[in-house]
C-alpha cells in the first residue's frame, strides 16, 4: 500500500473514532441533533463503518426519521449481509414504519444467522403481538428466555401477551420476574397495576402506580390512571389532585381533562366540569367519550338541544357507541319526541342486547305510544336478563292488570 494512503487512512480512522465518541456521548444525554452532526462527521471520514452507521440510524429513529434510519441499515447489509444484528435492527425500523411483513423477514434472516440471539427472538415476539398473534408471540418470548433467563424485556413482553389472552395471574408472574431483574422497570409496574385493577385488587394497583411514579414522577399517563383508580374507590378529591398533577406535566393530556371533568361532575361542580370537557375537546375533537360526557352534563343543566348535538357528534365519530344511542334517546324523550327516541333505543339494543335498563326504557316509550303488547315484550326481555329487576316487574304487572 502507498505509505501516503496508509497515513491518510489512519488519520481518517482517528477522526471517525473521535466524532463517533462525541456522538455517543451526545446520544446518551438526549442531545440528538448534536449527536447526528457528530455521526455525520464520522461517516464523512469512514462512510461504510457499520458501527457509525448503526449509531447514526439510532439517532435518526430518536428524531422520528425512520426512512433515513432504514437506509443506514441497508448500507450496512449491502457490505455485511451476514451481520445478524443489522438484520435485527432493520426489522426494528421496518416495524416502526408499519411494514410488518418485511420486518418479520428481517428478524427471520437474523435468526438464521444467529439463532441464539435472545434480543431478536424478543423483537420477533413483539412484532407478532402487534399483528395480533399473541400465542405465536409467547412462543418467541419463551425461546428468548430459554437462551437468557435474565432478559427482563422478554419477561415483560410475555406478560403483555398473557394479559391480552386474559391470563392475568400468569402475566403477573412474568411482570414479577421482570421486576426481580430490573426493579426500575417502570412499564412493568404500570402494567402490573392495570392487571390488579382488572382483578379489582385496588390497593395493590395503587401501590404499583405509586412505585411507577417514584421511578418516573413526570409520567402524566400514570398520574391520570392513578386518578381514575382513586375515583373508582371513592376518593374524588384525591383523584382530582392526580389529574391536576398530570396536567401540570402535560397540558395537552385530553384524557386527564376528560377524567377531571367526570369527577367534578360527580361533585356537582358543573361549571368547572364543563370547562374540563371543553379543554379536552380543544385538544381532541374526535373523542366520542368526551362528547358524550359533555352531553350528559348539558342535560343535567337543562340544555337539551345542546346536549343532543353532543350525542350526535359522538355518534358521527363512533356509530357503534351504544351508550350514546341510549342517551340520545333519553334526550329525545326530554324533547317530547318518543318515536325518534324509540329508534335510538333500538339502535342501542342491537349493539348491547343484554342491557336490561335499555329494554325497560324501550318498554316505557312503547307504553307511552300505546303499543302495550310490544311494551310487554320489552319488559319480559328485561326480566329474562334479570328476573329480580323491580322496575320491569312493576311495569309489566301494571300493564297485565290493564289487560
Each residue's pLDDT tens digit, 358-396: 999 999 999 999 999 999 999 999 999 999 999 999 999
- Long-range own/partner contacts, residues 99-105 (CB < 8 A, 24 or more apart): 100/127, 100/130, 100/131, 103/127, 104/128
Is residue 77 in a domain?
A: yes
Q: Which of these three, 90, 115, 140, is where a domain ends?
A: 115
Instruction: Tell me how far apart the alpha carbons of residues 70 and 343 are, in angstroms, rounded to a whole number.
Output: 53
Is a pLDDT exceeding 90 seen at residue 30?
no
Quickly tell me which residue has 289487560 as its cell. 403
Cell 449509531 -> residue: 55
pLDDT score, position 80? 83
What torsion do the CA atoms of 91, 94, 99, 101 make, to the nearest 10 degrees? -10
Is it the case that residue 11 has pLDDT exceeding 50? no
Q: Does residue 109 fall inside a structural domain?
A: yes
Query: What does the pLDDT read at residue 12?
Result: 44
* Model confidence pLDDT, tens digit, residues 38-74: 777 776 777 777 777 767 667 776 787 878 878 877 7
pLDDT beyond 70 at 312:
yes
State the pLDDT confidence band at 75, using cuts at 50, 70 and 90. Answer: confident
> In this predicted structure, what is the pLDDT of residue 13?
55
Three-state SS for 82-143 is: CCHHHHHHHHHHHHHCCCHHHHHHHHHHHHHHCCCCHHHHHHHHHHHHHCCCHHHHHHHHHH
Q: Which of 1-5, 86-90, 180-184, 242-246 has the lowest mean pLDDT?
A: 1-5
The last residue of a domain, from among 115, 132, 157 = 115
> Of the candidates 67, 94, 115, which is a domain's last residue?
115
The larger pLDDT score, comparing residue 33 to residue 218, is at 218
What domain count does the chain have? 2
Cα–Cα dist 403/401, whole Å = 5
Domain for residue 267, yes or no?
Answer: no
Give the integer Cα–Cα distance in Å for 377 and 359.
9
pTM assigned to the model = 0.82
Which one, of 331, 359, 356, lies nearest residue 345 by Cα?
359
Mean residue pLDDT of the chain comes to 91
Domain for residue 242, yes or no? no
- Structural domain includes residue 102: yes
The pLDDT tens digits of the residues spanning 134-170 come to 999 999 999 999 999 999 999 999 999 999 999 999 9
Query: Residue 100 is part of a domain; what is its CATH number?
Result: 1.25.40.10
Describe the crossing of helices 66-79 and 84-96 by its angle, rounded to 10 degrees.
Answer: 160
If 0-12 CB within 10 Å is exposed, 13-18 middle and 19+ buried, where does residue 173 land? middle
The C-alpha atoms of residue 224 and residue 243 are separated, in whole angstroms, by 5
Q: Is residue 357 part of a domain?
A: yes
**What is the C-alpha separation between 222 and 4, in angstroms, rounded?**
60
- Encode pLDDT of 337-362 as tens digits: 999 999 999 999 999 999 999 999 99
Can you read off the three cell numbers belonging to residue 340?
325518534
DSSP for 300-367, please give it. Answer: HTT-HHHHHHHHHHHHHH-TT-HHHHHHHHHHHHHTT-HHHHHHHHHHHHHH-TT-HHHHHHHHHHHH
Rounded to 10°, the helix 134-147/118-130 angle is: 170
Q: How far apart are CA 158 and CA 172, in angstroms?
A: 10
Quick one: average pLDDT of 91-113?
94
Cα separation, 86 vs 109, whole angstroms: 10
Structural domain for 388, as ranges: 353-402
Q: Of 302, 224, 236, 235, nearest to 269 (Cα)?
A: 236
Residue 378: which of 394, 366, 391 has the closest Cα? 366
Residue 134 resides in a domain: no
Amino acid at each position: 500500500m502507498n505509505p501516503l494512503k496508509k497515513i491518510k487512512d489512519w488519520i481518517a480512522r482517528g477522526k471517525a473514532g473521535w466524532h463517533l465518541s462525541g456522538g455517543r456521548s451526545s446520544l446518551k444525554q438526549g442531545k440528538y441533533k448534536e449527536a447526528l452532526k457528530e455521526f455525520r462527521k464520522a461517516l464523512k471520514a469512514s462512510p461504510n463503518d457499520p458501527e457509525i452507521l448503526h449509531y447514526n440510524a439510532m439517532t435518526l429513529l430518536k428524531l422520528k426519521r425512520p426512512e433515513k434510519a432504514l437506509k443506514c441499515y441497508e448500507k450496512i447489509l449491502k457490505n455485511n449481509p451476514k451481520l445478524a444484528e443489522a438484520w435485527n435492527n432493520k426489522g426494528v425500523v421496518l416495524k416502526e414504519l408499519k411494514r410488518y411483513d418485511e420486518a418479520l423477514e428481517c428478524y427471520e434472516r437474523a435468526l438464521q444467522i444467529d439463532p441464539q440471539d435472545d434480543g431478536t427472538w424478543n423483537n420477533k415476539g413483539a412484532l407478532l403481538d402487534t399483528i395480533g398473534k399473541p400465542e405465536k408471540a409467547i412462543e418467541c418470548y419463551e425461546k428468548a428466555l430459554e437462551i437468557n433467563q435474565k432478559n427482563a424485556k422478554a419477561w415483560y413482553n410475555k406478560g403483555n401477551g398473557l394479559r391480552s389472552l386474559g391470563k392475568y395471574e400468569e402475566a403477573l408472574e412474568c411482570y414479577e420476574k421482570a421486576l426481580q431483574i430490573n426493579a426500575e422497570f417502570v412499564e412493568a409496574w404500570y402494567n402490573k397495576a392495570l392487571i390488579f385493577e382488572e382483578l379489582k385488587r385496588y390497593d395493590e394497583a395503587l401501590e404499583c402506580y405509586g412505585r411507577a411514579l417514584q421511578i418516573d414522577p413526570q409520567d402524566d399517563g400514570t398520574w391520570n390512571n392513578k386518578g381514575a383508580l382513586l375515583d373508582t374507590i371513592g376518593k374524588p378529591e384525591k383523584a382530582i389532585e392526580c389529574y391536576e398533577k398530570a396536567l401540570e406535566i402535560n397540558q395537552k393530556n385530553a384524557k386527564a381533562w376528560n377524567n377531571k371533568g367526570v369527577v367534578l361532575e360527580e361533585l356537582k361542580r358543573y361549571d368547572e366540569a364543563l370547562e374540563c370537557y371543553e379543554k379536552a375537546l380543544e385538544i381532541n375533537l374526535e373523542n366520542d367519550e368526551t362528547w358524550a360526557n359533555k352531553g350528559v352534563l348539558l342535560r343535567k343543566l337543562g340544555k337539551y338541544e345542546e346536549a343532543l348535538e353532543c350525542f350526535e357528534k359522538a355518534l358521527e365519530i363512533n356509530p357503534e357507541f351504544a351508550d350514546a344511542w341510549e342517551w340520545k334517546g333519553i334526550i329525545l324523550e326530554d324533547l317530547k319526541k318518543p318515536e325518534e327516541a324509540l329508534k335510538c333505543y333500538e339502535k342501542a339494543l342491537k349493539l348491547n342486547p343484554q342491557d336490561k335498563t335499555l329494554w325497560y326504557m324501550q318498554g316505557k316509550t312503547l307504553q307511552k305510544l300505546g303499543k302495550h303488547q310490544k311494551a310487554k315484550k320489552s319488559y319480559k326481555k328485561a326480566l329474562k336478563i334479570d328476573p329480580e329487576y323491580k322496575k320491569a316487574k312493576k311495569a309489566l304487572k301494571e300493564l297485565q292488570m290493564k289487560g
